[in-house]
Structures are given as structure tokens and as C-alpha cells.
Structure 1
Amino acid sequence: MAETFPLLAAQPIYDNKNRFYAVELLYRSALNLTAETVGDTAATSEVVFNLCAGITTQTEQYDATAFINVSSEFLVSQSFLPIEPDKVVIELVERIKPTRAVVNAVARWYEKGFRFALDDFEFDPAWEPLLKYASYIKVDVSTLTLAQAKAFKQKLSGFKGKWLAERVEDEATKQAYEALGFELFQGYYFAKPTVVYGTRLEPSSLQLAKILSLCFEKEPDLTELSQVISEDPKLSVSLLKIVNSPLYPTASPITRVKDVIMRLGIEKLRRWIALIGSVTASSP
């Protein structure tokens, strides 16, 4: 039996009737490294890759909307996550500086159909240009008084998205924020983050470089591309897991590399190969 490792952590998000609504996916490392240590871009890539290619047993929460942190570098890189926009909410955390480049990048992602959550942005006026792209505002209830939260919410009364209270640790807090009009809740009162274990396959870096080169040819030869991917069993297995994950629902399981390419399309395949390459390069 293959050895399993911590791939990520998952913490559910609930609505005001205590129904499961979504899940936030958090970086976890077998070496106990933090997202700040490995870098936000590498952490984002690992979480997405591990979600699709590493988890050995899928449960219903991984078929739900996933809240995922990204770095400012990832946002402005002209790349997009290789998953369907309706499956993910991009969290813009306080470490991201709302520069003009970041705002423009968010606008491009928004045009592609991606949704955003403003997380711990502390109601800084510098973040106001991002409000029109946000579907959620997350408020850390451990850093504000109820009166401060009420004042901030009234100030942003024109916001059309959902308000999410995070770090809720008791029923009284949940009820107090529900009374303020918060619709979503997350915290230890509901569930602690659960570490998800699975297997991790490391494709060949040289093979990935060759495949990426083939992917970006003006008119990629799909037969040659399929053959080269098949020459790396670990990459083949990873791509088969990805295309059979809940992010790409199919009528029947896909078992051939050629069908993987047809299902993903060349654009998403390019993104996946680039993301897998970044994960492989950043592995210790």
C-alpha cells in the first residue's frame, strides 16, 4: 500500500441554517512548512494539484465550492487556475497589496468568470477598487468588536455579495453576527480544519519541460503529445486523477491519456502542466 502524506487541510463553511455551503482549502506540508515559508504561489499550486491528483478517497465536500488563497504574483502572472471558475472562490488575503497591477489582474480573472472573497482586508480604503469584483467579504470576528463589525457593514451597505464570519467559536458569536446580517460562518464552533492525506507522485522535470514545449507549439501534435505524456507513468496517473476528479465530471471514467487531452483541451492542459511543473520545482 502506498504511503500517504498530508496534502492539504479542509475547513467547512456553513450557512445560517448550519448547512454545509463550501470548503476552504489550506496548505499543509509533510515537513510542517507554512505557506509563508514555501511562498504563496507554490502553496496555491500544491493545494490545487493535491486536491485533484493526490486525494485517495473523494468525499462530498471536495465536490463543493472551494475557497483557495492565491498570491499577488499568481494573480498578475497572466495565468489562470486550470479549473472551472464556478468550482472555486479566490481569496484575496491581507498579504496582497491592492496595487493597480493587482486590481487589473483581478478584473481579468473576473471577466473569465472567477469569483473573489476579500479576506481580513480590515476595511482599508485602498481595497475599495476590488469591492466591485467581490462576491464575499470575510470578517475575522476575533479581531473586531461586534460594534466595529456593525459599523463596517453599514459603511458597505451597498455591497451585494455575502458576508462571512470566520473564527466563530461559540453559538453566541454565531447568533450575534447572524443578527447583523451575516449569511455564512466558519470556525472551530462548526469544525476545525481537517488534514487530508493521500499519495503524491513526482513527474520527471525534464519530461514536463518537453511536454510544455510541445503544448505551446503553434499547432500541437496531439498524437505526439499523448505519446510523450504516456512515457512518464507518474505524470500520466496524475493527469488521469485530475480529469476524473469532481472538478471535471464525466459520464464514465477516463482511462487513456489521449482522452485526457481531449477532455481538458490544449489550453487547460497547458495550465495543468505548468502548475505541475511549479509544484515539482518547489518540492524539497
Structure 2
Amino acid sequence: MITCTDVFLDSFFVARQPVFDAQKNIWGYELLFRNSEGTNTADIGDDDAATSQVIADGFGLIQDDIEDGQRLLVNFPRNMLLEGAADFLPPEICVVEVLEHVQPEPDVLEALRDLKDRGYVLALDDYVGQEGFEPFIDLADIVKVDCLDLDQDELANIAGNLKQLDVHLLAEKVEDNEMFDLCRNLGFELFQGFFFSRPEIIPGKKISTNNINRLQLLSAISGEEFEVEDLTKAINSDVSVSYRLLKFMNSPAFGLPNEINSIQQAIALIGYRKLAGWLRMILLSDMSSGPAGNELAFLSIKRAKFLELVCRDMKNCPLSAESMFMLGLFSLLDVLLGRPMPELMEELPVEKDLVKALIGEECDALVYLNLIKLLEKADWDGLTKLIMDNKLSPISVARNHMAAMQWANEIVVMGQAGNN
């Protein structure tokens, strides 16, 4: 696993977005990046600021996330296509994605034919039926259609035309389950967007007994005044949780000098508040079920670590670092449990400012939750504005997000191992 200090990429904003198949299994990921160094100006910089080193380091950053058979879509601006940056990436994993502003000029088409001959899969980004892109479509294996700004008739017309060709259709910016169902019915095979992180609230839906127990455990250790006895009781009430917590503590990630054999010993070594943080992560991971479960766990844990790191860099953080961590960790609780966030907040004894941010009410902490959401969506313009408006350091934001991505991936991998 490479670290932030090892890579040139740490001055870039990096987003990793999942791509799902029609059964909502993860087919692969898209890696998006943008140089953070121009963020304090009106222009964040263009995609040609990317370099071969950025692309190679980006692949190194998330290659551990990719399971056998999964793919990684990597954005290629014109200069990187012509300079042979794909040579750094394995063709059996990486999909070369031609960005929407690249024109089908002879030298670009020649470079793409060469990549295709060498076994690379090619994808065309942001296709909305524009004329003149036929040479790209003739070479493409995957065509990505931006669904957000198309009405249903326009989307059906584009899908119908593309289905007559030998290409796979990928719907991007699929923001809710209704759009997912529409695109699937129109013949799209792959889906990218944040539909999977939107809560599906089903009136009368019952939470499983296991998740009720987990929510009760969360409640016991989420207030400001919980005691060591509450923590010990919460851990010991679930054999699976206590086993996995001890397995976490004895993993190389902790680097503790001696083996830990009991919860009391763990509390003595790292403190009960820190141990409670680890327990909250395990409980949230256990609530993550279904094909998108690991991705939801990853997002929750990454948000938690990012907000904690941002807080520690600030002179006047709106909440404590521990509360900022909890804000990120609980930010997808409504998705995990299929219940409205305000309803869930009535059952968790968390501080008022944290509750306000979680239910979307205006408060200082909400700014930072919105910051991580903009990073995840690769909304570079919105991200730039928020950073400038709040006088944040773009380099610090980029590096903290990178560190949080790496940390969350290690935790999720450990969690998966603990379940085996």
C-alpha cells in the first residue's frame, strides 16, 4: 500500500466512484482527479494538467480495492492519449476513458486504434448524441451517456440508436433508484452515480433484529457522557463483535507491541473513547449489507476519517475531532437502515450540532459534510467555490482526502477478513 508521502498525486483531488451492473453488483470503479493547486483562483485548471505519474499513482492508490474481474475506468485527456500514458496500466484491468472535450482528430484516433490492438478496453465519456463523434463510437467498447440533463424521450432515443451498435451502454449520473430502473429498462448494462447512497424509505419496513441490536449498541456508546462500563457491556454482549474488535486490535495496522487478549486490556492500552470509535466502525460495517454494502461502509469510514483530519488542521473547528469523525460515520445511517435520518437521530444520544448537520439543517459542521460529498461526486466547480468561500487550504483538503481513502480501504479490508 503506497502512502500519501510516496506519491505526486497528493496535490490532486481524487475521487473513486463505483460502477454497478444491472444486479447492483460492483463491476468496477472510475478514478477521477483534478489538480488542487489552482483552486484558489477562479479556474481550477484543466484536465491536461494530468501527467503519466498522476495516472500511474492513481492506479497504485486504489488497485487494492479492485477484486478479480473488476475494472478501473481512468480518464484520459488528449495529451495523455498521445503520450502513451496507458503504458503504465495493465490492459486486463484498466479501461481507457476518452474525455468529452477530446476531438476525433487523426492522431487521437490512431492512438486509440493502437491501444485497442494491444488489448485495452475503450470508453467514450459523456455522450449525449453529439454529431461528429461517430469515429469514436466505432472504436469504443463502452459508451457512457450522461443521464442527468436528458429527458426520458431523449435518453430513450440515444439508447435506442446505440443498442444497434456493438457497444455496451453505461448510464452515468444516475442519482436515484427511479433513474436506475428507467436506464435498466432502456437497455443500459452499467450504472454510475450515487443512487446507491440515497435512502430507500419504505413505510412500515421493519429493521432486522440484528440491526436493532446494533443500533442499541451504537446508542449506548454515542453520547457525550458514556462510561467505560457501558462500552465493556456493549462489546461483551455480542461475541462476534468482541472477537472482531480484538482481531482488529491485533492487526499490523495498530502496531501494538503486545498481543491483546481482553477488552479490558484494550481499554487500558488505547483508552475507552478511542476503542469506542473502533466499535462504532465495526457496527456500521455490520449494518452494510447487499451488493453495495462494502461501498457504503467504505464511504462512511472514509468520511469519518476525512472530517477528523480536516478538524485537526483547523484552528476553530465547529465540533471536536471525535464528533466530526462521528458525523462522517453516521452520515449514511439512513441508507443502511432504510429509515429517515431525523427518526434515527431521536434514538441516538448525539450532540445537537451533530444532529443538525446529519439531518441537513444549516450549521457550521454541515459545510464540511458537504465538502466530502462534493469530493466524492467529483464536482470540481462546487468544490472550488466551497473551498474559496470558507478559506480552506486546497492542498490540505486533497491530502486529507487521500489519507482518508487509504485508511478507510485498510479498515474495510480488515473488516472483510474479520468476517471470514
TM-score range, shorter chain: 0.5 to 0.7
Q: Shift of residue 103 of structure 1? A: 1.5
1:67 and 2:272 aligned: no
Rounded Cα–Cα distance in structure 1 between residues aligned with 2:142 and 2:82 = 21
After superposition, the Cα gap between the structure-2 partners of 1:7 and 1:62, relative to the gap in structure 1 and judged at 3 Å, is farther
Rounded Cα–Cα distance in structure 2 between residues aligned with 1:155 and 1:99 = 23
- Which runs of structure 2 are paired with 1:22-101 in the superposition (5 Å)? 22-29=28-35, 31=37, 33=39, 37-43=44-50, 45-53=52-60, 58-60=64-66, 64-77=70-83, 80-101=86-107
Aligned-partner SS, 1:190? helix
1:172 and 2:178 aligned: yes
- Which runs of structure 2 are paired with 1:107-118 in the superposition (5 Å)? 107-118=113-124
Q: Which residue of 1 aligns with 2:110?
A: 104
Q: Does the 8 Å CA contact 2:145/2:172 hold for their aligned counterparts?
A: yes
1:182 and 2:188 aligned: yes
Q: Name whichever of 40-49 and 83-92 sits farther off.
A: 40-49
Gaps of 5+ in 2: 198-372, 378-397, 405-420
Q: Which residue of 1 aligns with 2:267?
A: none
Q: Shift of residue 47 of structure 1? A: 3.9
Q: Which residue of 1 aligns with 2:158?
A: 152
After superposition, the Cα gap between the structure-2 partners of 1:78 and 1:93, relative to the gap in structure 1 and judged at 3 Å, is closer
Aligned-partner SS, 1:81? helix
Aligned-partner SS, 1:58? helix
Rounded Cα–Cα distance in structure 1 between residues aligned with 2:13 and 2:161 = 40
TM-superposition CA deviations, 1:237-262 (whole Å, max 9, x none) = xxxxxxxxxxxxxxxxxxxxxxxxxx
TM-superposition CA deviations, 1:64-111 (whole Å, max 9, x none) = 311011111222235643121121111112211111222222111111
- The structure with more strand, counted as a fraction of residues: 1
Q: Which residue of 2 aligns with 1:138?
A: 144
Aligned-partner SS, 1:86? coil
After superposition, the Cα gap between the structure-2 partners of 1:30 and 1:155, relative to the gap in structure 1 and judged at 3 Å, is closer
Q: Does the 8 Å CA contact 1:7/1:198 hold for their aligned counterparts?
A: no
Q: Which residue of 2 aligns with 1:275?
A: none
TM-superposition CA deviations, 1:212-233 (whole Å, max 9, x none) = xxxxxxxxxxxxxxxxxxxxxx
Rounded Cα–Cα distance in structure 2 between residues aligned with 1:178 and 1:160 = 18
TM-score, L = length of structure 1: 0.60
Gaps of 5+ in 1: 200-284
Aligned-partner SS, 2:20? strand
Q: Shift of residue 32 of structure 1? A: 6.8
Rounded Cα–Cα distance in structure 1 between residues aligned with 2:139 and 2:161 = 17
Quote the RMSD (CA, aligned, Å). 3.1
Q: Shift of residue 188 of structure 1? A: 1.4
Q: Does the 8 Å CA contact 1:23/1:61 hold for their aligned counterparts?
A: no
Q: Which residue of 1 aligns with 2:288?
A: none
After superposition, the Cα gap between the structure-2 partners of 1:68 and 1:3, relative to the gap in structure 1 and judged at 3 Å, is closer
- Higher RCO by CA contacts (8 Å cutoff, separation 6 or greater): 1
Letter matched to residue 152 of structure 2: L
Letter matched to residue 95 of structure 2: V
1:197 and 2:402 aligned: yes
How many residues are paired up?
A: 196
Q: Does the 8 Å CA contact 1:27/1:46 hold for their aligned counterparts?
A: no
Q: Which residue of 2 aligns with 1:14?
A: 20
Rounded Cα–Cα distance in structure 2 between residues aligned with 1:140 and 1:17 = 20
TM-score, L = length of structure 2: 0.42
Q: Name whichever of 84-93 and 58-67 sits farther off.
A: 58-67
Question: What percent of counterpart residues are identical?
Answer: 28
Rounded Cα–Cα distance in structure 2 between residues aligned with 1:3 and 1:182 = 37
